[in-house]
Homo-oligomer: A and B are copies of this chain.
Amino acid sequence: MDSLIVWKFLIRPATTLFVGSHLLDPLLEFCNGRRVVLIADEKIQDPLFAKKIGAEFLTIPSGEKTKRLETVERLVDQLCQMGCERDTLLIAMGGGVTTDLVGFVASIYMRGVPLILIPTTLLAMVDAAIGGKTGIDTAWGKNLLGTVYPPQAIFADLDRLQTLPEGEWFNGMAEILKMGLICDSQIWERGPGRDPELMVKAIQGKIAIVDQDPLEQGLRRVLNFGHTVGHALERVSEYMMPHGEAVAFGCVVEAYLSMKLGYLAEQEFAQIEAVYGRFPLRLPKNYDRGQFLSAMAQDKKKARGEVRCVILEKIGRALPFEGTYCRVVKESEWESALDWMEQWKSFR
């Protein structure tokens, strides 16, 4: 061998996150002097907003089915037709489906154009929009395609919190409580509530984790707590079960598993169970253990065919397992957790 060159490829984009009220002015500053295309969920009823920020306006259909390569192709075609260039700013406005999909389009259009996210659901504010992940689904599963592409800015409007429908509030709260369990006992102690401070704390917790491990090679995996079970429940329900409900169910089952495997104290699990017990959690109607186990085996987090799970040591701390932040859980070890899950809510 004659020549060996090693180099590091440095990419360091910065994201500015605005959390609060009266966010129009800073948003206008980002838009100033640029060509802007606003892509919004068709449900967002704010026809004047695009005008206010001087943006051209495209909509996408609501719902998970929109997160497909077909929609990407259609949007790219529209952007080409409009003559959008490398410096065109794309703004995504909607829930996680919109921010994931438009983020993906922005990351691949002309190898990446500027992106701003305006999450409109609590779930998107605390989770989907934070961390730079984009994603689309394929016939084989959710978020099987995607990129890591941080937006230039995120605008989370706290005023929306007060008027959120119950279902959407719960959907986001599930991820906030998860943050409490894995890394911030203060969040957990404050308990669930329509509390802006809770939202900010959850966002800060997620950013701190993502900053240390942007490409999910270790620590960032803790964010998947509740999701090994949660994703499988969503899959078994054919994605009829809301993500938050699935994650909440996943958190309590994975906490039970953590206890059964001897890592989490019984008393702490009892506290966790008491909180989640108050939520309207139900197994999908067509739940079946065999299907559930095979859905889990197809999870994106698995490596070398083994199902891995994030494990709690105590409220506010996930176990590091030598930097892997997950543990292989054998099928036999799942049995008692699934027994428990299947009977848990049937007594209520």
Most interface-central of A4, A19, A107, A108 (chain B CB within 10 A): A108
> Which residues of the other chain, B, contact A5 by a CB distance below 8 angstroms?
16-17, 19, 203-204, 207
A150: min CB distance to chain B, Å: 4
User: How many residues of chain A are within 8 Å of chain B by beta carbon?
Assistant: 73
Once the chains bind, are A211 and B10 in contact (CB under 8 Å)?
A: yes
A252: min CB distance to chain B, Å: 27
The A11-49 residues at the B interface (CB cut-off 8 A) are 11-23, 26, 35
For the complex, give the distance between the alpha carbons of A9 and B10 in Å.
11
Is A87 among interface residues, defined by CB-CB distance under 8 A?
Answer: yes
Once the chains bind, are A9 and B111 in contact (CB under 8 Å)?
A: no
Say yes or no: A300-B110 contact (C-beta < 8 A), given A9-B211, A144-B76, A211-B10. Answer: yes
For the complex, give the distance between the alpha carbons of A76 and B146 in Å.
12
> Which residues of the other chain, B, contact A196 by a CB distance below 8 angstroms?
2
Question: Does more than half of chain A's interface fall in helix, strand or loop, or is it mixed?
Answer: mixed
Once the chains bind, are A7 and B1 in contact (CB under 8 Å)?
A: no
Is A77 among interface residues, defined by CB-CB distance under 8 A?
Answer: yes
Once the chains bind, are A1 and B20 in contact (CB under 8 Å)?
A: yes
For the complex, give the distance between the alpha carbons of A22 and B86 in Å.
41
Once the chains bind, are A135 and B147 in contact (CB under 8 Å)?
A: no
Is A311 among interface residues, defined by CB-CB distance under 8 A?
Answer: no
Is A140 among interface residues, defined by CB-CB distance under 8 A?
Answer: yes
A203: min CB distance to chain B, Å: 7
The A122-175 residues at the B interface (CB cut-off 8 A) are 132-135, 138-141, 143-148, 150, 158
Once the chains bind, are B133 and A111 in contact (CB under 8 Å)?
A: yes
For the complex, give the distance between the alpha carbons of A158 and B135 in Å.
39
Q: Which of B12, B112, B147, B305 contacts A111, CB < 8 Å? A: B147
Once the chains bind, are A112 and B18 in contact (CB under 8 Å)?
A: no
Q: Which of B4, B104, B112, B301 contacts A148, CB < 8 Å? A: B112
> Which residues of the other chain, B, contact A4 by a CB distance below 8 angstroms?
16-20
The A279-320 residues at the B interface (CB cut-off 8 A) are 300-305
For the complex, give the distance between the alpha carbons of A1 and B16 in Å.
13
